[in-house]
Amino acid sequence: MKKSNQILSVQNLKISFTQYVKGLNTRRITPIKSLHVSINAGEIMAVIGASGSGKSLLAHAILGILPGNATCDGDIIYCGEPLTAEKKIQLRGKEISLIPQSVNYLDPLMRVAEQVKIGLPKKDANKRQQELFRRYGLKEKDGDLYPFQLSGGMLRRVLFATSVRDNIKLVIADEPTPGIHPEALSAILNQLRAFADDGAAVMLITHDIVSALTVCDRVTVLKDGKTIETAKADKFSADGKGLQHWYSRALWNALPQNSFSIYEEVQACL
């Protein structure tokens, strides 16, 4: 049943891949076993977990951009209705926006200013693109460059600018901040907060728990393709006693600003 302000609900998500082994023999692997996450309008949900825990696949399943050898089970409900394959295509880039993890999602053969203009209303696309460049610390002349001519941090800011659109209801940001200088980092986090304050649901996938906690409302913790806990952001405080799962506490306590406890299982996450 949909709660009145719920934008996204993912329940029992399972993702398998068929792979070829030894000639034409195939095998199936299931790295995503049971993911659950729900996000309300006006809320930022941080999604954390070690490398390989399933964060990007969760994002790609919602967007409908899993590779062809993937099969997906479970329920994805968007604004109270099942998010079908057709709807994913229809809503992508309009109501549902992805800030991808990899800068390879940019077109290598198109100047970056042109890429930011895609999907903006034609009549003021130039003005809006220039505003977005200013907001994310990019210079006007950077717009004439191709992706290979920009640094990694600049490319991440371009990616972010491509996601800022009117009528967005769900924003999925997959590691939007690594390699970004502090000013642009806070501009990006503030922009995510502004999306939420305007009524969107925001999924912030990140390894940077501390920065995420400055803007997020709740945190979902993934481990080995499963959701192990969803907690309010304020539970990530002091020694993390308010967290239910030992792994969430271990993640929190492994941070240098906390007790810096070393748990082998959480090293990959930081």
Q: Which does 242 bind (CB under 5 to 8 A by kind): Mg ion, ligand ATP, none?
A: none
Kindly tell me which of 101 and 162 has the beta carbon lying closer to ligand ATP: 101
What's the min distance (Å) between Cβ of 236 and ligand ATP? 18
68 is in the binding site of which of Mg ion, ligand ATP, none (Cβ under 5 to 8 A by kind)? none
CB under 5 to 8 A by kind: which of Mg ion, ligand ATP, none does 57 bind?
A: ligand ATP
Cβ neighbourhood burial of 61 (10 Å; 0-12, 13-18, 19+): buried
222-245 burial code (b ≥16 CB/10 A, e <16): bbebbbbbbbebebbeeebeebee
**Residue 206 partner contact from Mg ion, ligand ATP, none using kind-dependent CB cut-offs of 5 to 8 Å:** none
* Residue 76 vs residues 7, 61, 63, 175, 234: alpha-carbon distances, Å: 11, 9, 10, 22, 27
Q: With respect to Mg ion, which residue has the nearer C-beta, 113 or 221? A: 221
Of 17 and 146, the one with the shorter C-beta distance to ligand ATP is 17
- The residues in 77-116 that bind Mg ion, with binding defined as CB under 5 A, are 101
d(C-alpha 125, C-alpha 119), whole Å: 9
Q: In the bound complex, what is the minimum distance in angstroms from residue 194's beta carbon to Mg ion?
A: 24
Instruction: Using CB under 6 A, list all residues that contact ligand ATP.
Output: 17, 31, 49, 51-57, 67, 101
Q: Collapse the DSSP code of 223 into the 3-class scheme (helix H, G, I; strand E, B; otherwise coil) and give the result.
A: strand
Q: Any contact of residue 56 with Mg ion (CB under 5 A)?
A: yes
C-beta closer to Mg ion: residue 38 or 101: 101
The listed partner (ligand ATP, Mg ion, none) that binds 54, CB under 5 to 8 Å by sort, is ligand ATP
Q: Which of 73, 70, 67, 52 is nearest to 10 (CA)?
A: 73
Q: Where on the chain is the footprint of Mg ion (CB under 5 A)?
A: 55-56, 101
